[in-house]
Amino acid sequence: MDLAAKHAALYQGTLLVAEAAEDAYGLGGLDRFLKPWIRGRLDSLRGLLASCDTRRQLAEDVRALAGAAAAYSELRNQLFSDLHHTQPEPPWRILRHQDMAIRAQSRVLDRQPTFVLRRLDAGANIPGAETWDFTVLTSPSDPADQGTSFIVMADSQEKNARITVQVAKELASERSWYQQLEYGFYALGARPFLTAIYDPDRHRRQPPEGAAGEYG
């Protein structure tokens, strides 16, 4: 078997790893985000063979292809556990290249929503901006749940810079969802500024007598 045939067999093997994980760890509404993402990722890595010039490059490229499938299987395992098992509060799960983050909250005791924050493009015709999609799945285990999606605009600046995030008033009015959007950007390594979260007059209001004070 020549190298091209072996590489094709490896690619088919990575698809098997992905499909086996999808069968084992059903994620309902999240699949419309995850399934296209992993297949696009595997196809991209598959194409690296054409540019391999050395044995070392070949070793790195096939390792990346195999590793992507294994990482996807582990991600699905983690998300499934986040949704269905009793354990510490789950974190945001970050996909490679930090172009998507998912927080699947436990649904064991309370039907909490799942949040997906993903980059759509580099701002299209708006210089210095990025377009994101923020989706809230209220029934994430249901494959028919398309969720509620909001378009989010954010400054496109150098890494670790403070970015201003603009959202529609419909999202800003859903305070708990809006807060999760901020957490999602932090998880992706950004420093977001979501103006509707911050109330400049809150320090002037006194808490009711006997109420707990606010610290920090």
Rounded to whole angstroms, how far apart are CA atoms 19 and 189? 30
Rounded to whole angstroms, how far apart are CA atoms 131 and 125? 10
Residue 123, pLDDT above cutoff 70:
no
pLDDT at 111: 86
The confidence band for 122, taking pLDDT boundaries of 50, 70 and 90, is: low
For the chain, the average pLDDT equals: 85
Q: What is the pLDDT of residues 72-91, one digit of tens each?
A: 999 999 999 999 998 888 99
Other beta carbons within 10 angstroms of residue 47's beta carbon come to 10
Residue 206, pLDDT above cutoff 90:
no
Q: What is the pLDDT of residues 4-31, one digit of tens each?
A: 899 999 999 999 999 999 999 999 999 9
pLDDT at 157: 61
**The tokens of 183 are what?**
């957490």
Q: What is the 3-state secondary structure (H, E, C) of the chain?
A: CCHHHHHHHHHHHHHHHHHHHHHHCCCHHHHHHHHHHHHHHHHHHHHHHHHCCCHHHHHHHHHHHHHHHHHHHHHHHHHHHHHHCCCCCCCCEECHHHCEEEEECCCCCCCCCEEEEEEEECCCCCCCEEEEEEEEECCCCCCCCCCEEEEEEEECCCCCCEEEEECCHHHHCCHHHHHHHHHHHHHCCCEEECHHHCCCCHHHCCCCCCCCCCCC
pLDDT at 204: 42
pLDDT at 125: 59
47 Cβ contact list (under 8 Å, min separation 6): none
Full-model pTM: 0.83
Q: What is the pLDDT of residues 141-199, one digit of tens each?
A: 899 999 999 999 988 665 557 888 989 889 999 999 999 999 999 999 888 988 765 54
